[in-house]
Amino acid sequence: MFLPPPLTDDWTKWIVGEWEGAGESDSGKGRARASFESALGGQFLIHRGEAKITELNPEYLKKHMHASDEEIERFKRSGYQSLEIYTIDQETGEVIGFLFDNLRCMAKGRGKREGFKETMEWQWSSGHKSTRITERVSDDKLVFIERTRNADGSIMEDKGEMTRSKRQSVSEKR
Which pLDDT tens digit goes with each residue over 2-50?
889 999 999 999 999 999 999 999 999 999 999 999 999 999 999 999 9
Would you say 161 and 136 are in contact if contact means Cβ atoms under 8 Å apart?
A: no
Domain with 62 in it: what CATH number?
Answer: 2.40.128.20
The reported pTM is 0.88
3 domain residue, yes or no:
no
Q: How many structural domains compose the chain? A: 1
Taking CA atoms, 165 is separated from 33, 47, 70, 95, 158, in Å, by: 9, 15, 34, 25, 22
The confidence band for 171, taking pLDDT boundaries of 50, 70 and 90, is very low
Asked whether residue 2 is assigned to any structural domain, the reply reads no
* Distance set, CA 169 to CA 15, 37, 172 (Å): 9, 9, 5
Out of 37-46, 69-78, 94-103, 161-170, least confident range:
161-170
Task: Say if residue 166's pLDDT is above 80.
Answer: no
Domain that holds residue 73: 10-173
In a domain, 93, yes or no: yes
- Among the listed residues 149, 142, 146, 152, the one whose alpha carbon sits nearest the alpha carbon of residue 34: 142
Q: Residue 174 — very low, low, confident or very high, per pLDDT cuts 50/70/90?
A: very low
